[in-house]
Structure 1
């Protein structure tokens, strides 16, 4: 079995998250997606409680299921009640699926910072890496940190300029979210009165 692992804050999930998963499904052909809601050690706090982020990630998984893609949400990082690191998440998933192929989906911005990650050198030996984003504009390839071989990473051109920060600001300002967020997640945000300015 081939598992695509996609971690993030999902505060909130949006159309770029959905588009990346759809694109990954088409290109990489995983059998299932595991969406992990992170407890990023580099973020002081999140805009909404963990329970909301996890439930919205579940709605993102539901959007994928609606087009026939198998997806599950993992709350393992949240349940640790302490900062989580990518290498720990990958090792956890590997412990559950020791004999399966595992591909970690990450954005180009995160990849550029990979050498700041805990035990980053171990990650390519634990899983494949698929990096999504724009190239650096100087050539056809993404920048590659020293220590990671070219054949350990698949670079995929992907440009969908939507961010969770942009969406939170739009909601706080009462602006429309057309084209930014799946309707199921928009309804959830409205129902729970999330991201409104207080």
Structure 2
């Protein structure tokens, strides 16, 4: 079985997250997506409470399920009640799926900084990497992948210029985010008055 791990703050999840997952499903042919809601040690606070971020991630998983993709949400990082690092998450997932193929999805910007991550040298023995970024961008970072065996890092051209920060600012300003956020998540945000919505 092939498990794809996708972690993020999902504050909120938006159409770029959805598009990336759909693209990954098409290219990588995973049997299961595991979406992990992060507790990033380098991020001081989140705009939405953990419970809302997890519920919105579940709605994202529901969007994937709607097109036949098996996806589940992990709240393991949140339940730790302390900062979580990528290597800790990957080790946890590996403990659940000790013999399965595991691929970690990350963005180009994160990949550029991978050598600053906690115990990043351990990742090659734990998983493969799929790096999503602008055309040619990730390719310039090949030197970063020296620790990974050939074929363990796959660079995928993906440029979807939408960010959670942009979404939050638009909602706070009263602008519509139709077309930027899946409808199920958009309705959830409005229902709970997140990000200054009314």
- 1:197 positional shift: 7.3
Q: Distance in 2 between matches of 1:95 and 1:146?
A: 24
Q: Distance in 2 between matches of 1:146 and 1:183?
A: 38
Runs of 4+, deviation exceeding 2 Å: 146-152
Matched residue, 1:143: 141
- 1:116 positional shift: 1.1
Q: Distance in 1 between matches of 2:123 and 2:192?
A: 37
CA contact 1:142–1:155 (8 Å) conserved in 2 = no
- 1:125 positional shift: 1.2
Q: Which runs of 5+ in 1 are unaligned?
A: none
Matched residue, 1:104: 104
Matched residue, 1:59: 59
CA contact 1:135–1:142 (8 Å) conserved in 2 = no
Query: TM-score normalized by structure 2?
Result: 0.95
- 1:124 positional shift: 1.5
Query: TM-score normalized by structure 1?
Result: 0.95
Q: Which runs of 5+ in 2 are unaligned?
A: none
Q: Distance in 2 between matches of 1:109 and 1:171?
A: 25
Answering whether residue 22 of structure 2 is matched by residue 22 of structure 1, we say yes
Q: Which has the higher helix share?
A: 2
Answering whether residue 45 of structure 2 is matched by residue 45 of structure 1, we say yes
Q: Distance in 2 between matches of 1:29 and 1:142?
A: 26
CA contact 2:190–2:197 (8 Å) conserved in 1 = no
- 1:146 positional shift: 5.7
- 1:182 positional shift: 0.1
Q: Distance in 2 between matches of 1:24 and 1:33?
A: 10
